Structure 1
């Protein structure tokens, strides 16, 4: 059978773009790609990149305060959201152009259109045009959602934050995951009055308990009104904003209510089940270790598979797919010991097991310390840094590393290399400290604070 393409990719995010570009430029495949919104996907357009730029923007109020403590005669002003947003929009447009240009140079044919599956080898575009392909890759990512309750249509999601014409004065953020906590810190740093509801007992479920508590304390100290064991019961529009009734009996009026209570794979209305593709309970494309779906010609990578929802993981999965399918080099994407960062204030970087996970796998030693770093200590700020290593008592391997500090994301990347290589606690101990730095604590903790 003759096909229009060797590969057709649905979705122009990080995973889909990487797979399309490599298949075309390195394997000589005929590749088509369809994207219904903007090239770059969640990460570039409404996720990692704009969020991190907002993180930078939100930190300058503290930087001005620190500068005064260090002898600089500086005077802070008000944050101008309109000025920042214009620069942000320009940068996202530039990055979208980079993604598009890389695809075009590789020879990928781009369709600015929604695409759905017509059958295991056919894609149907929004205008009814059909394209056939030997292989189809689903890389449509995920989306935030608002659960249904009275007034839920009045709430917004993280996608909408980047579209604000002006910043709200008062915002309620609902959720306790990393997206909710990041935006709570960002908007608080930009001068917004932030209240955060989380229905559980502690934010950042699934992360290390000690780190979770450290971050929650820091957020409260910076002015975030964090209320755990609390959720939204209803929202009503009133004259001066949105009236929220809470499940703990309280109520208040806000200018905006942001729900960040989870994300769902983008598979609705795509014709996947009709084509015989098995989906998980949450709508994710079920794939094997090669990213192949239940239909042999259809593969999926990235957040739509609900494996590890991180941009670098989607990119690795896309590259592994090309190696396997187009280069004859069967390659599994490595999902073990994936480092990550939560861009709260302070940041949280982690790799490997949490203390709670490690305790279920055998005897461990826990090395942990918390201290005031030199920079903020000199400025008179009460910020505290946390460093933590979790070590297997028998093999001596470092099973997990957790850092809560400014620039934790930068530090955990380098620690992850050592841990991925199988470093032991003694390897850390043998390494000479870089002084004076925060990270030197990772190689100077000699006595465990807990065993078990």
Structure 2
């Protein structure tokens, strides 16, 4: 029987970062993957989405100058854009495979099944691992309704080489609103059907309302408090019906109702490892009931955001555990960004949480209006600071095309406990949107 110090089930960000650390420390490492090397984010998730998003972001920003410097149309050629995306992402698995070889990882393509506390069965061979790390992520949920075979998911959408004209997107979460932001700029007919009464429920609803209103101005139709009952194939596409009697004939139906952890058929039940659609239960060291079986990434049942950077953090943490670190995991503030147009961002304590805590101070700042020359005419840009009783920044929520850079700056300030005096003793580039925000933050923190 082959033996390894660590077996990683999955080859995405929840796995290979920690595997690299262990290999560099002299450990023997095996990675097992049944799909493409690199997992969802690398091949048909985050990377593909941001590659397609680029020209839409440029178009969205340029529209702020319509009538004050911008003339003519900015045309997006979707087939060319998709070909560009494919040219960038298609080589990723081969590149990662080569990287694994250079790092001297053993790598096996196949389905894994746990057969014991230290053993994994793959392609008919049982292999021993002193430590086993499960990092097999999650997949798109699929509604259990008549006609579910006609539903598409985000992976399908991100591989569309020819765009249909009429969309139904089921669910008003991140995926639907990000894709709708792109399709609206192309003039497509978009309907979003949401079971509840609001979109992006986890984010500051004042900012969500701005994005929803902007999408509605572009023709996107929201149908709240509606549950999809069935999808039928008709002569010119698909007929989507809801339980409340709404009927929409469209060309494409996207099921964006959430994600479920990949916990089936990997031997968890036979070993008594607790798991559900939310993920695998772990302790504060990311261990299952067995001290040498760890879990990393989106397949964990957890309350912190299921994001690529979180998976990387967990993968590195597990490597540290195997190398002798005994400390329980402690997550820093985790920035969370929705790639709508404009973006919505959040890090640390939310506005909703702050409203329930009288010791926290909520300070909104409409910097888009206050510093128009620095925001490039983005009038609706706004950030809300959340300060504790010591005037330390503990949270921030914002809406802005420049949310990524601002959010990362806020994350740094929160995690490093930078004070208002600290900010006042620093010099930042001017003019620029981060300068405007940091100047205001430094003032309110004093």
**Separation of aligned partners in 1, 2:19 and 2:441:** 46
Q: CA deviation at 1:409?
A: 1.2
Match of 1:46 among 32, 40, 44: 44
User: Cα 1:318–1:165, aligned 2, differ >3 Å: closer, same or farther?
Assistant: same
Give the structure-1-normalised TM-score: 0.89
Match of 2:79 among 82, 102, 116: 82
Report the secondary structure of 1:210's partner residue.
helix
Match of 1:193 among 189, 192, 203: 189
**Separation of aligned partners in 2, 1:260 and 1:298:** 31
Structure 1 residue 117 corresponds to structure 2 residue 114:
yes
1:87-116 CA deviation, whole Å, 9 max, x = no partner? 211211233333222222111011122212
User: Cα 1:64–1:36, aligned 2, differ >3 Å: closer, same or farther?
Assistant: same
Q: CA deviation at 1:330?
A: 2.7
Match of 1:59 among 54, 57, 60: 57
**Contact 1:286–1:305 (8 Å) recurs in 2:** yes
User: Cα 1:181–1:11, aligned 2, differ >3 Å: closer, same or farther?
Assistant: same
Partner of 1:105: 102
Match of 2:164 among 141, 163, 168: 168
State how many pairs are aligned: 439
Q: CA deviation at 1:320?
A: 0.9
**Separation of aligned partners in 1, 2:427 and 2:265:** 56
Partner of 1:6: 5
Match of 1:154 among 147, 150, 158: 150
My pick for the range that moved more, 186-195 or 408-417, is 186-195
**Separation of aligned partners in 2, 1:375 and 1:97:** 45
**Contact 2:351–2:397 (8 Å) recurs in 1:** no
**Separation of aligned partners in 2, 1:69 and 1:360:** 44
Match of 2:26 among 23, 28, 34: 28
1:287-328 CA deviation, whole Å, 9 max, x = no partner? 112111112221110000032311111111111111111x22
Q: CA deviation at 1:397?
A: 2.0
My pick for the range that moved more, 146-155 or 417-426, is 417-426
User: Cα 1:31–1:402, aligned 2, differ >3 Å: closer, same or farther?
Assistant: same
Match of 2:286 among 291, 295, 305: 291
Mapping 1:146-295, distance limit 5 Å:
146-279=142-275, 281-282=276-277, 284-295=279-290
Cα root mean square deviation, aligned: 2.6
**Separation of aligned partners in 1, 2:361 and 2:84:** 48
User: Cα 1:333–1:45, aligned 2, differ >3 Å: closer, same or farther?
Assistant: farther
**Contact 2:296–2:315 (8 Å) recurs in 1:** yes
Partner of 2:417: 422
**Separation of aligned partners in 1, 2:362 and 2:28:** 52
Q: CA deviation at 1:332?
A: 4.1
Partner of 2:390: 395
Partner of 2:130: 134
Structure 2 spans left out of the alignment, 5+ residues: none
**Separation of aligned partners in 2, 1:415 and 1:332:** 25
**Contact 2:240–2:249 (8 Å) recurs in 1:** yes
Q: CA deviation at 1:75?
A: 4.7
**Separation of aligned partners in 2, 1:284 and 1:64:** 42
**Contact 2:118–2:131 (8 Å) recurs in 1:** yes
Structure 1 spans left out of the alignment, 5+ residues: none
My pick for the range that moved more, 57-66 or 331-340, is 57-66
**Contact 2:208–2:344 (8 Å) recurs in 1:** no
**Contact 2:60–2:341 (8 Å) recurs in 1:** no
**Separation of aligned partners in 1, 2:376 and 2:315:** 46
Q: CA deviation at 1:9?
A: 0.8
Q: CA deviation at 1:82?
A: 2.4
**Contact 2:375–2:432 (8 Å) recurs in 1:** no
**Contact 1:150–1:234 (8 Å) recurs in 2:** yes
Structure 1 residue 143 corresponds to structure 2 residue 142:
no
1:218-247 CA deviation, whole Å, 9 max, x = no partner? 332333222222231221111011111234
Report the secondary structure of 1:59's partner residue.
helix
**Separation of aligned partners in 1, 2:401 and 2:334:** 20
**Contact 1:20–1:103 (8 Å) recurs in 2:** no
Report the secondary structure of 1:148's partner residue.
coil
